Amino acid sequence: MPVFEHRFEVTASVEEVAAFHVDPRAFRRLVPPGIILQIHVQEPVATDSVNEFTMWMGPLPVYWMAVHSDVSPSGFQDRQTAGPMKSWVHSHSFEPISEFQTTVVDHIEYEHHFGWRGVCSRLLFSGIGLWWVFAWRTWATRRAVRSM
């Protein structure tokens, strides 16, 4: 199963980083420009909470439903239960470096479908595409926690 991992440091406490990520406004702020996000259901981040949305990537609608688990002050996990991938498990971890500095780790284990669905998901969620999304998320997170 392929793995994508991205880590970055942010000048903020673990508590501030966690508070940003569970804030209902954070999800929209973490989506890069060029992707239009239509939220259908967004429950507060908690064990078994649901996030259901459509990402418009140009003219292509990509439906996604995720369920949260392992929610704690040091992170949480979301698992795609419906969407473009055969499987997708995204672990968000917040690791303290010091009182005012945190490492954010995004660890994703994913698998593409076979056939035409797999071709589409490989085009939309390639290494370059994931790199762009998480480069944006780095910038957006740093900007957001500075204003807290």
pLDDT in tens, 14-47: 999 999 999 989 999 999 999 999 999 999 999 9
Q: What DSSP string describes 47-73?
A: TT-EEEEEEEETTEEEEEEEEEEEEET
The least confident of 24-28, 110-114, 119-123 is: 119-123
| Confidence category of residue 102, pLDDT binned at 50, 70, 90 | very high
pLDDT tens digits for range 76-95: 999 999 999 999 999 999 99
For the entire predicted model, the pTM comes to 0.94
Backbone CA torsion sign across 110, 115, 116, 119: positive
Give the pairing type, strands 50-57 and 35-42.
Answer: antiparallel
Which ranges of the chain would DSSP assign to H, the alpha helix?
A: 14-22, 26-29, 115-124, 127-146
Domains of the chain: 3-33+70-146 (3.30.530.20)
